[in-house]
Amino acid sequence: MNLILLAPDELDGQRAVLADARRLKHLHDVHRARPGDELTVGVMNDRVGRATLVELDAHRAVFELGTLAAAPPPALPVHLVLALPRPRMLARTLEHVTALGVKRLTLLHTKRVEKSYWQSPELNIDKIHQHFLLGLEQARDTVWPEIELIKGFRPFIEQRLPALMKDHRGLVAHPGMPNACPRQVSEQTLLLVGPEGGFIDWEVEQLLEAGCEGIHLGARILRVETAVTALLSKLF
Amino acid sequence: MNLILLAPDELDGQRAVLADARRLKHLHDVHRARPGDELTVGVMNDRVGRATLVELDAHRAVFELGTLAAAPPPALPVHLVLALPRPRMLARTLEHVTALGVKRLTLLHTKRVEKSYWQSPELNIDKIHQHFLLGLEQARDTVWPEIELIKGFRPFIEQRLPALMKDHRGLVAHPGMPNACPRQVSEQTLLLVGPEGGFIDWEVEQLLEAGCEGIHLGARILRVETAVTALLSKLF
């Protein structure tokens, strides 16, 4: 928790009051915080600054806010479309990509996504939000990501992709594509990453026909969570 | 398991015989392999190619090797020095960096590494080797990484670093350093990454005095496993 992210209902003028067990425990056990300590705070979707802890007990923490003048770190210019990974991989990947600055995320069904993954409790919106929160706290960010779940590949291609391609450079990451992952891209990018086992040929064809460029990460086959971090780090 | 890594004692002329439970289970349950199937195999520290499964039962799998002519994927030109992460993070990080192609790894004690981490069962050499194996199988690599554990920062600076700096470009990744992480480096690189909480100032000074360049990953504070993948992906 490198930043304490304050929700609007936790603010009270120049004060903020936290009462949730997770953050109180973290303040006690990890920060070993005491009244008088200064910590980094940020207001949801807004500015970042310092705050002084004025009260801390088992039930609540009260902060006196300083001037919150700093902008959160810049977001990545990317819309990430991820074939739904298996649940444990999803959980970690959500935290990685949130910490890296992804703000627009689509989880997509493709042929090689196991259908049972769509029933996983990890897709509960509260669980997803918890991973977003941990990612933002880690990276000292305040800007909440948007997520959408699209449970069919064809509806995505027909109804969602054409609008996205209007204002994004589309990149489909897939082993064996002709071009290496580009570097230091600044334009708005739509990045599509397949499931464990990859997109099927027909899916790749559909994406290329829609105007996406095929890119690869070299001869090494990486796990989804490693590949996504590697792609975002090379691209931006 | 994108490649079956064959140890020398599993080879018998043009045949290979596996008898360990983990890989037999994977062949049964994940590959759903049957005699006649072709799979990718590689010989430890040697070539990669295809092999035909000729027998599979609960106790062993027998492969008939084709021509193993392909080189394993290129290694990264890096020696990675990692302040010892907490055990679960270590386990995942070892798999990520092995899959990414790191072949020389030092786990180092620094001031902010909790001493108890050095007693973790994750540091058992068999556990470490298991992570190497999973990383190599993932990335279709055959070349076994080297690892050393150095339990003191001062001995590292005094006895190990001078020799490493003779034939490496030293980079210390630390928030707040003046230069962004360089891109597409081809020279032999020594990359040093601090623990959760970072190097202490004195450690950074020692590394800079020894000739390392300080580099950063931007305003976002990343977890060690994310940061290491991001650094390796930007650098190479």
pLDDT at A112: 96
Residue A199's nearest CA partner among A187, A211, A208, A190 is A208
Domains A4-65 and A78-235 alike in fold? no
Q: What is the domain partition of chain B in residue ranges?
A: 4-65, 78-235
Given A95, A101, A183, which is nearest B220 (Cβ)?
A101
CATH number assigned to the domain with residue range A4-65, chosen from the 4 options 3.30.70.20, 2.40.240.20, 3.20.20.540, 1.10.3720.10: 2.40.240.20
Helix (H) or strand (E) holding B227: helix B224-235
Given A222, A229, A232, which is nearest B139 (Cβ)?
A222
Q: Which residues of chain B have pLDDT under 70?
A: none
Q: What angle do CA B221, B223, B227 make, to 5 degrees?
A: 80
d(C-alpha A61, C-alpha A53), whole Å: 7
**Domain A78-235, CATH 3.90.79.10 — does that match?**
no
Instruction: Let me know: does A235 contact A78? Beta carbons within 8 Å.
Output: yes
For chain A, say whether B30 makes contact (Cβ under 8 Å). Answer: no
Percent of chain A with pLDDT over 90: 98
Burial class (CB in 10 A: 0-12, 13-18, 19+), A120: middle
- CA B162 to chain A, closest CA, distance in angstroms equals 30
Contact B100 A220 (CB under 8 A): yes
Q: Cβ atoms within 10 A of the Cβ of A196, count?
A: 14
Three-state SS annotation for B162-199? HHHHHCCEEEEECCCCCEECCCCCCCCEEEEECCCCCC
pLDDT at A64: 98
The verdict on ipTM greater than 0.90 is: yes
For chain B, say whether A139 makes contact (Cβ under 8 Å). Answer: yes
For chain A, say whether B183 makes contact (Cβ under 8 Å). Answer: yes
DSSP B101: T
Amino acid, single-letter form, for residue B87: P
Q: Chunked in runs of 10, what are the mean pLDDT values of chain A (236 residues)?
A: 95 95 94 95 97 96 96 98 97 97 98 97 96 97 98 97 98 96 97 95 98 96 96 98
Contact A221 B96 (CB under 8 A): no
Cα–Cα separations (whole angstroms), residue B78 to B99, B171, B190 = 14, 10, 6
For chain A, say whether B203 makes contact (Cβ under 8 Å). Answer: no
d(C-alpha A212, C-alpha A229), whole Å: 20
Contact B223 A99 (CB under 8 A): yes
For chain B, say whether A141 makes contact (Cβ under 8 Å). Answer: yes
- CA A82 to chain B, closest CA, distance in angstroms equals 18
